[in-house]
Amino acid sequence: MSLTDRQPPFQQITCAQYATQNAALTKGFERETQRANAQYSHYELGRYENIYIERMAIPEIEPIYTQALQIARQRLGLNKLKIGFWFNAMQPGERTARHNHAESDELLSAVYYLVTPANSGDLVLYAADRTWRISPQAGEFIFFPPELAHEVEENRSQQLRLSVAFNFGVPND
């Protein structure tokens, strides 16, 4: 089997009705960050990569959260999953360094795109023998193994690029 015959280790899924959901969730994100209801972590390359907002504080996340959880359950064949999420807001000139999410008991990772101006930075996924470049599209999920190294290229647009990242794992109960 050649590299071109192999299935990629990720899945792309475009959501129906994403425009309305994305507009509402983007407004919710702006509201909660202005209210200082967000926690910031992972200061790298001159920016905070992860912006955490409690699920109860941002009800606009529910349609995306529910969809992500349903897809993860299908992909993993598990009904009971824990789910964590955070926002990634990349201003012009910012990027995300190469990393993975295999830090503890994650089984699946995903990103969902809210705001994706042209030239706002491709998602680059690295396997041992191949690299994939995915141009972000609003309303699209990318599901991938947490151990898959990835980065986001520099946002060369003049606008914010906004996404929500997810990790799924087995609950601790």
- CATH code of the domain in which 145 resides: 2.60.120.620
So what's the pLDDT on residue 172? 81
Report the Cα–Cα distance between both ends of the chain, in Å, rounded.
Answer: 42
- Tens digits of residue pLDDT in 19-71: 999 999 999 999 999 988 899 987 888 888 899 999 999 999 999 999 999 99
Segments forming the whole domain that contains residue 63: 11-169
Structural domain includes residue 4: no
Structural domain includes residue 2: no
160, pLDDT greater than 80:
yes
- Tens digits of residue pLDDT in 128-158: 889 999 999 999 999 999 999 999 999 999 9
So what's the pLDDT on residue 4? 47
Kindly report whether the global pTM for this prediction surpasses the value 0.85.
yes
Q: Between helices 18-34 and 62-76, what is the axis angle to 10°?
A: 120
78, pLDDT greater than 60:
yes
Q: Are 170 and 81 in contact (CB under 8 A)?
A: yes
Structural domain includes residue 69: yes
Compute the average pLDDT of residues 105-110.
93
- Phi, psi for 75 (deg, rounded to 5): -65, -40
Number of domains in the chain: 1
- Tens digits of residue pLDDT in 3-23: 445 678 899 999 988 999 999
Structural domain includes residue 138: yes
Structural domain includes residue 5: no
So what's the pLDDT on residue 6? 62
So what's the pLDDT on residue 36? 84
Nearest to 96 by CA among 51, 33, 50: 50
92, pLDDT greater than 90:
yes
- Phi, psi for 159 (deg, rounded to 5): -130, 165
Q: Are 150 and 123 in contact (CB under 8 A)?
A: yes
